Structure 1
Amino acid sequence: MTMSRALWWIAGLLSLFGGCRDAVGDEVADLILHHGKVVTVDRDFSVRQALAVKGGRLLRVGDDDDVLKLQGPGTVLVDLGGRMVLPGLIDSHTHPTDASMTEFDHPIPEMETIGDVLDYIRARAVALGPDKWVVVRQVFITRLKERRYPTREELDRVAPANPVLFATGPDASLNSAALKLSGIDKDFRPEGPGKVEIDPATGAPTGILRNLTRYVKATPSERAPSELDRDKRLVELFADYNSVGITAVIDRDADAQAVERYGRLHEAGALSIRMGVSHGVTNLGPIDEILAEIRRVAAHPLRRGGPMLRIVGVKLYLDGGMLTGSAFMREPWGVSKIYSIDDPTYKGVLFIPRERLVPMVRAAVESGLQFTAHSVGDGAVHALLDAYEEVDKQTPVGPTRPCITHSNFMSREAIEKASRLGVAVDVQPAWLYLDTPTLSAHFGNDRLRFFQPLRSLFAAGVVVGGGSDHMQKIGSLRSINPYNPFLGMWVAVSRRAKGYEGRLHPEEALTREQAIRLYTINNAKLLFLEDKIGSLEAGKRADFTVIDRDLLACPEAEIRATRVLSTYLDGKRIFDRSE
């Protein structure tokens, strides 16, 4: 053997032995959870006994004997005692900055009847004093026992010295003082879509406005929060997300201030939630300015953000809502006392015509952004899918994972087109839970055949993610809408609703495995992070939660009662129920 070859051989051996020594060192876990039921949510939905973590990542997932071999002197051992472990849960649709501030000034009680609403308004009027605005937002009439707005006369009676606004998005009910201050009388004529309801006997406004809340001149009556207050409340909300196993969310309409706040918290090490952002973009104004705004979002540094904070795309509003009777439908809504619809040809409201929608979608796709739009009615869903199809003729839309937000009313054709184009769907089971009684009373069972058709979407290979549309309050079950993912899973599996007998089209119920995927790997795909989170596989981030029951075997009714015992992000425990 020549000297040069001998040196090469010795160097190779040293390298090999050094590599082996390093590999052995690397194979010592920081943390091991064992003697449990670890639901991996991998391709085969494997269920293992243990997992090992090192450096914030999953080192190994497998049987107890195999994983416990990675124990070293400093390894922290957690005996699960048979408990189940799930990947960190993900919510595909939240509004954290607004939701966290809802009760900053004072607690807001749950309101289920007109009486509850009036009692709250009376109490606020007393607390604020005369002439101050009393404002109630997002207490939807479809969720009130009476299924109607409080009347002007009722509002006048409980708050005679205060202007009152009871708003549900673009629709509202006002008392006499609020109408006067807003300049809304029998001669008022709005610009653009909208309607002032008129009393046929007197010709005066009834107080109910349709798609006209923008004209109400309400001024804040509550104390103003500081930036520190906003940060603290947001951190408090994220901690509550963690308490129900949530380790990642998507803000589905973040403005520039929200993005800046998330960035500041991230830099301070105060984020306990992975944040994906759908940056809000207006649909109003010159189309060139809207397209320029979409491209500015694409150029934002957080488009290249890491797994803790990143912008994934843009969000617009395509139609109205089913809670206010303004979602855009393919067929007329029908005359309705609940929704105050007296036009038998009325189909709802579509905010973006095709000639504007297509270039918006094209700008997002060409910029590599995920485009999504609030699309509740089947008319809006079809309009958005048609726009995706038009853009796809020149530029494939699939790689950007275009999305339909809400997509409550669908059709078999819409499901097939979404599958073919690679369009994802962002659905909120809590809406089925809370709104089925009113929807059923109005539309009837047959027309709800493709309301949240979850099983059909899964069968067609559509990536469908589960979310909450959390808008107000901290508290997973008291919030509007509830963000407890186990409630969402139960609804998806049972198709049962509050105050509704039976199951709404049980043929669209998910299996338990599918319901878990709905809040894990599927949402990871909506975040473009399925290679890092969403399942428990070696090499992925160590995000997981330990729960108090076996979701795959417990009685169906108990799914919604599941309690989280601990939650981990990057292998660090961020929630522990024993603390």
Structure 2
Amino acid sequence: MKYALVICLCLGAALHAAGPELIVRNARIATVDPAFSIREAMAVEDGRIVAVGGNDEVLRLRTAATEVLDLGGRMVMPGLIDSHVHACGAAMTEFDHPIPDMESVQDVLDYVRARAEALDDGQWIVLQQVFITRLRERRYPTRAELDLGAPKNPCVFRTGPDASVNTLALQRSGIDRDFRVTDGGPGHIETDPQTGEPTGILRGCTRYLKIRQPGREATERDRYDRLLALFGDYSSVGITSICDGSAGQGNLDLYQKMLDEGELPLRVASQYYVGTIGPIEDIEQAIRKVAEHPLRRGGPMLRVIGVKVFLDGGMLTGSAYMSRPWGVSAIYAIDDPDYRGVLFIPKDRLRAMVRAATESGLQFTAHTVGDGAVETLVGVYDELSRIMPIRDRRHAITHSNFMSPETVQKVVDLGVIPLVQPAWLYLDARTLFEHFGYERLRWFQPWRSILDAGGIVAGGSDHMQKIGSLRSINPYDPFLGIWTTLTRRARWYDGQLHPEEALTREQAIRIYTIHGATALFLDDHVGSLEKGKRADFIVLDTDLLTCPVDAIRRARVLRTYCDGRLVFDRQSLRAEAGGTVEK
């Protein structure tokens, strides 16, 4: 027995003496520790960071088997974290056929005509998430225009719960002048004030469309391969962790298979989607069931962290729930001067849902865009905080675009985490400015106010469709997001949108690293480059801390490591970074 113990101790010592597999030296390492320290070298052993410091002290750990990466002064930083994506759906968007980029209503109508020619009469034409704020004309295609483009096919131009449809789509779905919403859910059908006939604009009512998607059926292997391709593209822009912002069991099965096969190149935290129509007791039971999911006990590579619901509509479609009326708008097809958007969940039902999640140990978040919806959700968090502890649940607000000074302060006081999409400011500020005016946008995406008050914000994209970091809807290139937080400049918009809310470079990096890790319950593992943490890091061709600000948009990732594994290599490290790899 004594000899066995000696053998075990010797084996343990030998394994420990193996030393780091990788040392990075001559780098400019932004550790994103509490002091935002800059270091020269880092050592990685068994997927963990075992040393961060100066070149000489870290190189003392080198063994004959250690790979030494000399970066010639290039920047290293923690792997980037996207706090809100819809990866599984996005990967399958163009499985049946390519979808061109669209910047105008004419582009939309050209696509509709092309699909009408490609499909049999009567087959549905479905175009999703081409947002009107991002079209040059900034309006929905009309029912008449869609009729002209597809006279023999039901056609829907859908943006989340809102849509513009043609006559045949209305007829197929049984929506006419006598149609009423009767399922207890939200929404309404826009009608012509003169005739009473549906205009083709549906607010929060796409669930009533009887769509039959045409196209070839995907196999599980197809879904797996396309998701793996998307994840490879995430790695190419430095993303090492994501949060699936509306997961179902099918998504979790794909992630689990990828993990089991040893092919998962990034960390996945998931918020499980829960429907909110029906008896509140059933919804509470569904929330508690999520707390019993096996992946609640998952590890840092794959885990269910909470639940997700949809509280209001969208700013991109004219249905976010606002504290004041939207105002009559040709852009959003709003005729009612008192229209404030759509709130999907009454406050008393929302309170019951948040309470069930809190009692079950789950993070709660909701798609929450308008300031009226943000006020409703934060108000529920505030009420419950008076009777039960909520801070350790890290409840969140997904999007949190329109806020107020009062909700900003409550978010900070309660430890609530906004999950934000800076690229929305870049893509949508022109339309929002023309509709709301500059002053009403004072508290649109108020990142600086939240951080300066002591809160945190987690950056992300809400990636919905297509593979490609800049062609995607929404773009998931983190460097566009970081640049937007620094400049608050936008496409087709002159000047800056409330530059007082712009971030410093250190703040911008934090919201895509340690703040994201905190929102995903990964901050003990990743988000900063500190001894003992997992080795998720990236090598860049650009120093984000010192380069001209516009160069940040063009920054490229040379290498991406997740859990100490090289998951992306641009194959140009030596040429572009001036670096060398040694043994």
When the two structures are superposed, what TM-score results if normalisation uses the length of structure 2?
0.94
2:421 maps to 428
Q: Aligned runs of 1:136-535 on 2, under 5 Å? A: 136-191=127-182, 193-200=186-193, 202-535=195-528
1:546 maps to 539
1:121 maps to 112
Taking the aligned partners of 1:453 and 1:37, their CA distance within structure 2 comes to 30
Taking the aligned partners of 1:330 and 1:200, their CA distance within structure 2 comes to 25
User: Shift of the alpha carbon at 1:540?
Assistant: 0.6
Task: Provide structure 1 residue ranges, at least 5 long, that are not aligned to the other structure.
Answer: 1-10
Task: Provide structure 2 residue ranges, at least 5 long, that are not aligned to the other structure.
Answer: 573-583
Counterpart of 1:474 in 2: which secondary structure? coil
Counterpart of 2:101 in 1: which secondary structure? coil
User: Shift of the alpha carbon at 1:27?
Assistant: 7.0
Aligned length: 565
Counterpart of 1:90 in 2: which secondary structure? strand
- Residue deviations 1:511-531, cap 9 Å, x none? 000000010000100111111
Q: Is the 8 A contact 2:418 2:456 kept in 1?
A: yes
Taking the aligned partners of 1:360 and 1:26, their CA distance within structure 2 comes to 52
User: Shift of the alpha carbon at 1:356?
Assistant: 1.0
1:131 maps to 122
Q: Is the 8 A contact 1:56 1:542 kept in 2?
A: yes
The alignment status of 1:94 with 2:85, answered yes or no, reads yes
Taking the aligned partners of 2:252 and 2:12, their CA distance within structure 1 comes to 45
Taking the aligned partners of 2:338 and 2:135, their CA distance within structure 1 comes to 26
User: Shift of the alpha carbon at 1:199?
Assistant: 3.6
The alignment status of 1:105 with 2:96, answered yes or no, reads yes
User: Shift of the alpha carbon at 1:189?
Assistant: 3.1
Q: Is the 8 A contact 1:175 1:207 kept in 2?
A: yes
Larger radius of gyration between Structure 1 and Structure 2 = 1
Taking the aligned partners of 2:20 and 2:34, their CA distance within structure 1 comes to 25
Taking the aligned partners of 1:442 and 1:21, their CA distance within structure 2 comes to 67
- Residue deviations 1:524-575, cap 9 Å, x none? 0011111110000111101100011110011111111110001011111100
Counterpart of 1:319 in 2: which secondary structure? coil
Taking the aligned partners of 1:556 and 1:427, their CA distance within structure 2 comes to 21
Taking the aligned partners of 2:192 and 2:425, their CA distance within structure 1 comes to 34
Q: Give the letter aligned to residue 275 of structure 1.
A: V
Counterpart of 2:114 in 1: which secondary structure? helix
Q: Is the 8 A contact 1:27 1:59 kept in 2?
A: no
Q: Give the letter aligned to residue 37 of structure 1.
A: R
When the two structures are superposed, what TM-score results if normalisation uses the length of structure 1?
0.95
Q: Is the 8 A contact 2:187 2:342 kept in 1?
A: no
Counterpart of 1:550 in 2: which secondary structure? coil
User: Shift of the alpha carbon at 1:203?
Assistant: 4.5
Q: Is the 8 A contact 2:459 2:512 kept in 1?
A: yes
The alignment status of 1:59 with 2:50, answered yes or no, reads yes
Give % identity: 59
Q: Give the letter aligned to residue 71 of structure 2.
A: L
User: Shift of the alpha carbon at 1:151?
Assistant: 1.6
Taking the aligned partners of 2:428 and 2:232, their CA distance within structure 1 comes to 28
Counterpart of 2:306 in 1: which secondary structure? strand
2:581 maps to none
Q: Is the 8 A contact 1:425 1:462 kept in 2?
A: no
- Residue deviations 1:343-387, cap 9 Å, x none? 222211111112111121111111111111111011111111111
Q: Give the letter aligned to residue 369 of structure 1.
A: L
Q: Is the 8 A contact 1:27 1:70 kept in 2?
A: no
Counterpart of 1:435 in 2: which secondary structure? helix
The alignment status of 1:30 with 2:21, answered yes or no, reads yes
1:6 maps to none
